[in-house]
Structure 1
Amino acid sequence: MNTPNEKITLDDLLLWKQELKKQIEDQQQKLIKSYHILTEPFNFNPEQSSLLKKLTTGFAIFDGFMIGFKIIRKIKNIFRRRM
């Protein structure tokens, strides 16, 4: 950019600064768009969830809780028998 024959003026610096800011802004927009594309499957939209899906999720949570409770109870029983 800077050659021995050319002098850089303040106007040149201002233009260069504006161009760099625009490039940075464009890169930020691309990163934001890429982030949204990558995380899109994990976004939860309550308008699109149906009642059946909510019930299924509720039963899965309840079932997981009950299985965990049974496992903890069996582990306690194993330690009680040994003592």
Structure 2
Amino acid sequence: MDDITVAEALTAFEPWLEPTDAELDAIDAEMPLIMAEGDLLEARIATLDRTPSELDARRIRRARRRVLAARRELANLSAAVFVPPGGAA
């Protein structure tokens, strides 16, 4: 069994495990969807231990609409960036 030091373990993956600029840009593009899904999750969690009131139901519906809108925007952004192989016909 090989013994390695803590410093070797911490620096073994340093340079090539960092996210690339393209990956960070993709995360930035998906951030509105991530935040909307977090809001929806919070709205659902708030109703786990009680019967949802009309206000709770409205909050969940609004959060669900925000998720759908964010997904639509992300899909439209992805479709605008995507160019099929061979170029446009």
TM-score, normalising length: structure 1 = 0.43
Bigger fraction of residues in helix: 1
TM-score, normalising length: structure 2 = 0.40
